[in-house]
Structure 1
Amino acid sequence: MHATAPRNDDSSLSGLDGLIDLARYPIEDLDSAAGQALIEECRAQLADDGCVVLKNFVPDDALDRLERETERLSPEAHYNQTETNPYNSDGDASLPATHPKNRFDDRTNGFVAGDRIDSETIIRQVYEHAGFQRFIASVVGMDEIHEYADPLAGLVINVLREGCQHPWHYDTNEFIVTMMTRQSHGGGRFEYAPGIRSPEGENFDAVERVLDGDRSPLTSLELQPGDLQIFFGRYSLHRVTPVEGDKERHTVIFAYAKEPGFIGRPERAQRIFGRMAPIHEQLLREGMTRSDNLAD
């Protein structure tokens, strides 16, 4: 099981010309002085708190097209309302009720799964573009990154209607790349606790304090349409606060992995998308392993 190879020519970013502000963000020439400066600036921000935001990454004319695209696809979103803990897992009766694994909050939001996003869309062309992937890999300090082999979770549109929220949670991979295409009238604030856990441990005590209302470790962002965010979401607890007003909040999620063949847990696919792909059903029958022992 391997991720699909990028379809675009490694030698050119011409397919992204006009879609990305290449004058401000010279990702077409990462070996240049300007390209190296951009990479170093992004790396410094990630090292500082696990998040970098590139403001106005997309020029206004392309942003209009992106907003129309996600608006067209948004009716495909699967919505569900459920109670979930930060690990998208069941509770643990052997632990106290105050333990993070037993702290459940309302999650009401929608996701357009990757198999609903066709190959002609701008967002899929960006996701699969080798030059864009090369830029992201350089920023996160990897030789290369890979598209998900998971047909549902690799490229996703998150759709939040009025009252919807995504409560405290972690991502399934080490880093995530997102692009807001539509902001709500109010709410929808992105908040996170940088590096609150690590591969060495969950740091449950600190997580419990955040769930109890401790804001001292938190960073809060008001992202705008056209902003590109690179985020270490596997180790930083994060949430999106409830959306206010009748305008939906749309965010494109470009999910990559450091190894080919990454597939999310079948149970998580069922919770988020309301269904599993055949590969999830196969893994459910055969079992699956992860390279770390963290809760999901």
Structure 2
Amino acid sequence: MTLDRVIDHERYRVTGGSGDPRRRAVVDRARRELADTGCTVLEDFVHPALHEALRADCVALAPHAYTDVETVNVYNLPLDRPLPEDHPGRRTFRRGNAFVPRDRIPPGAFISALYRDESFQRFVADCFELPRLHELADPLSGLVLNVIEPGQQHPWHFDTNEFTVSMLTQEADEGGVFEYCPGIRSPREENLDAVGAVLDGRAPERVRRLPLRPGALQLFRGRHSLHRVTPVGGLRARHSAIFAYSEHPGVVGSVARTRQLFGRVLPAHLAAEHRAVRGDRLLD
């Protein structure tokens, strides 16, 4: 499976140079939307003729997901951490999503072809206005398939990484809608009152609902934007591929977070445990 076969190049000229006007137009649009709302969606990034093959490819991977239903807060803080009575970190939610780790995704899969392709990585880096991106060195979380079964949800949270690259591969029968609050916090301000208002349902005007269709590429700044996937209903699970990149090489997830997401850790996680680097002092 090659990039030339997967992407609709009539709409998205990913492999062209920076001087290609069609590529430049797509990148410029993505940059504007990311600056305005922290999110951009490239509809039918995968050629429409391949949507069903993409879906079937990921359906075959889904049984390899590690599933864990747990009680969490929006910051992924320990539930016994002392916090003020009105702190939004005291609100708890049930999270019931599952992840297929990278070492269960074969190199020939659609999403592997995209994740590893250097032209795709350069294109994504250009959209985020970064000099380059690196695949995570993490053997489990570099590329994952997220599975949300009927009756489950991915509740309100912030991302640890500055940016997220994802693609819906299968819609749920009901629900499973992506909702987000653009720029509700900043590197310097948690804005706890605003976060608490959203969690309590007192600020619906801050919440945007984003319809996503299979094959669309979503670029998202989730570090400062509160977001969630609403509960999934019906009989069919929601599947989405998450392409994890970093601005820096050698990034490996923490032991605690890796065990939480995948139920296991590997020697690479143990070796990197004391080398974690944080770009800010935000809670999560």
Same fold (TM over 0.5): yes
CA distance in 2, matches of 1:27, 1:60: 16
The Cα of 1:169 is off from its aligned counterpart by 0.8
Q: SS of the counterpart of 2:146?
A: strand
Taking a change above 3 Å as real, the CA distance of residues 288 and 34 of structure 1, as seen in their structure-2 partners, is closer
Q: 2:219 aligns to what?
A: 230
CA distance in 2, matches of 1:100, 1:287: 29
1:25 and 2:25 correspond? no
1:65 and 2:53 correspond? yes
Q: 1:145 aligns to what?
A: 133
Between 35-44 and 266-275, the greater mean CA deviation after superposition: 266-275
Q: 1:244 aligns to what?
A: 233
Q: How does 1:176-215 map to 2 (within 5 A)?
A: 176-213=164-201, 214-215=203-204
Q: SS of the counterpart of 1:111?
A: strand
Match of 2:79 among 67, 91, 109: 91
The Cα of 1:283 is off from its aligned counterpart by 3.5
Taking a change above 3 Å as real, the CA distance of residues 200 and 18 of structure 1, as seen in their structure-2 partners, is same
CA distance in 1, matches of 2:141, 2:225: 19
The code of the aligned residue for 1:126 comes to L
The Cα of 1:269 is off from its aligned counterpart by 1.3
Tell whether the 8 Å contact from 2:99 to 2:144 is kept in structure 1 after alignment: yes
CA distance in 2, matches of 1:160, 1:261: 29
Q: 2:271 aligns to what?
A: 282
Tell whether the 8 Å contact from 2:102 to 2:140 is kept in structure 1 after alignment: yes
Q: 1:271 aligns to what?
A: 260
The code of the aligned residue for 2:14 comes to I
The Cα of 1:294 is off from its aligned counterpart by 2.0
Q: 1:100 aligns to what?
A: 88
Q: 1:11 aligns to what?
A: none
CA distance in 2, matches of 1:222, 1:33: 28
Tell whether the 8 Å contact from 2:72 to 2:79 is kept in structure 1 after alignment: no
Q: SS of the counterpart of 1:293?
A: coil
Q: 1:4 aligns to what?
A: none
1:216 and 2:205 correspond? yes
Q: SS of the counterpart of 1:216?
A: helix
Taking a change above 3 Å as real, the CA distance of residues 25 and 287 of structure 1, as seen in their structure-2 partners, is closer
CA distance in 2, matches of 1:228, 1:278: 32
Q: 1:169 aligns to what?
A: 157
Between 262-271 and 166-175, the greater mean CA deviation after superposition: 262-271
1:37 and 2:25 correspond? yes
The Cα of 1:177 is off from its aligned counterpart by 0.7
The code of the aligned residue for 1:26 comes to R
Q: 1:10 aligns to what?
A: none
CA distance in 2, matches of 1:93, 1:177: 31
- How many residues were matched structurally? 282
Q: 1:158 aligns to what?
A: 146
The Cα of 1:91 is off from its aligned counterpart by 3.3
Taking a change above 3 Å as real, the CA distance of residues 282 and 233 of structure 1, as seen in their structure-2 partners, is same
CA distance in 1, matches of 2:107, 2:61: 13
The code of the aligned residue for 1:168 comes to W
The code of the aligned residue for 1:155 comes to L
The code of the aligned residue for 2:215 comes to G
Q: Give the aligned CA root-mean-square deviation in angstroms.
A: 1.5
The Cα of 1:55 is off from its aligned counterpart by 0.9
Give the percent of matched residue pairs that are identical in Structure 1 and Structure 2: 45
CA distance in 1, matches of 2:83, 2:111: 43
Tell whether the 8 Å contact from 1:183 to 1:249 is kept in structure 2 after alignment: yes
The Cα of 1:87 is off from its aligned counterpart by 1.6
Unmatched 5+ stretches in structure 2: none
Q: 2:37 aligns to what?
A: 49
Between 136-145 and 80-89, the greater mean CA deviation after superposition: 80-89
Q: 1:6 aligns to what?
A: none
The Cα of 1:137 is off from its aligned counterpart by 0.3
Q: SS of the counterpart of 2:69?
A: strand
